[in-house]
Copies of this chain bind each other. A is one copy, B any other.
Amino acid sequence: MTCVKIAVSGKGGVGKTTIAAALIKSFAETHQAVYAVDGDPDACLAAALGISREESARIKPVVEMGDKIKSISGEGVFYTLNPTIDDRSIDEFVYRHGNIRFMRMGDVKKGGSQCYCRENTFLQALVSALLLDKDEAVIMDMGAGIEHLSRGTARGVNLMLVVVEPSLNSVNTALNVKKMAADLGIADIKVVGNKIRSDREREFIEKSFQPGEVLGFVNFNNDIWEKSMDQDSACASANEDLLHGMREVREKILGEAGGS
C-alpha cells in the first residue's frame, strides 16, 4: 500500500477537524499534493486550515463536479479524473493553499429540502477513483457520528483514523466506527486520543482499544479552547504541540503503509 487515503472520523466534538487539519498540514510538509476534503456539510475544515470563509465559499462543492468532468473527457465520469485535476481545468472545485488542495463535499441547504445522500455517493466515487502518486495523499474530515459509515462514504480509503476523547461515549462511537469501517472493507483502522489531561485519561483510551491501535495522543490545550471564539480558527491546527504530534502520527502511518 503506497497510496495514502485517510478518513478522519469520530463522535461530534472530539476534535476531528482540528486533528484532521493538523494531519493535513503535516502531510503537506512531506507530500507534493494533499487533497483535503471537507466531508461535513456543517463545515469548518477550511477555517481550521487557515482558508478564509470567502475563499472557501468561492469554490464549488465536489458534488457538482460530475458534469464538468464528463464534458471535458467526453466519457465516464471518473476514469480520466486525475489528468483533468492536474491540468487545472477543474480549479473551480479545488482551492490551492501551498501543497494543500482543499475541496468540500456540499453546501448548506435550505431547511427541509433534502438529505446529503447524493453528495456522499459522489464523494465516495471520487475518492475511490483518485489515483495517487507516491507524493500525494487524500485526507477527509468526515461528519460527526456514524451515518457517513452506514452510507459507505469512506469506502475506498486505506485508513480510518478515529479521534476519541477520554469519554465513554466517544469510545463507544469509535467502537461502532471500527465495526462499520471493517464492514466497508477498510484495511486499517487506527485511533488518536485527543484532549488528554492525565495519565488516567490516557490509560482509559489505551485500555479501550487493541495494542497498537492507538497511534498517538494529543494533550488538552487550554490555548485552543481560549482562542475558539476568535475569527482565526486556524490557530488551533497551527499549535506546535499538535503539529508535532501529527508528524509522529504521519510517520507511523507512512511506516505501516510502506511496510504493507
Interface residues of A (CB under 8 A from B): 11-14, 17, 40-42, 44, 47, 108-117, 120, 143-147, 149-152, 155, 166-169, 172-173, 176, 179-184, 200-201, 204, 228-231, 233
Query: Can you name the residue of chain B whose Cβ is closest to the Cβ of A113?
Result: B150
Contacting residue for A169 out of B114, B183, B201, B233, CB 8 A: B233
A42-B173 in contact given A116-B147, A144-B144, A166-B228 (Cβ < 8 Å): yes
**Least Cβ–Cβ distance between A187 and chain B, in angstroms:** 13
Stoichiometry, as copies per complex, reads 2
What 20 additional pairs, Cβ within 8 angstroms, besides A114-B151, A167-B229, A169-B228? A12-B12, A12-B13, A12-B14, A12-B42, A12-B145, A13-B13, A42-B145, A108-B150, A109-B150, A109-B180, A110-B150, A110-B180, A111-B183, A111-B184, A114-B150, A143-B147, A168-B228, A168-B230, A168-B233, A169-B233
A168 x B229 contact (CB < 8 A): yes
Find chain B residues with CB under 8 A from A120 CB. 115
B145 x A183 contact (CB < 8 A): no
Find chain B residues with CB under 8 A from A155 CB. 112
Query: Can you name the residue of chain B whose Cβ is closest to the Cβ of A18?
Result: B169
A115 x B112 contact (CB < 8 A): no
B112 x A152 contact (CB < 8 A): yes
A179-B11 in contact given A146-B41, A168-B231, A228-B168 (Cβ < 8 Å): no
Find chain B residues with CB under 8 A from A17 CB. 169
Find chain B residues with CB under 8 A from A173 CB. 42
**Measured CA separation A11–B115 after assembly (Å):** 17
B112 x A176 contact (CB < 8 A): no
Contacting residue for A180 out of B13, B44, B111, CB 8 A: B111
**Least Cβ–Cβ distance between A57 and chain B, in angstroms:** 13
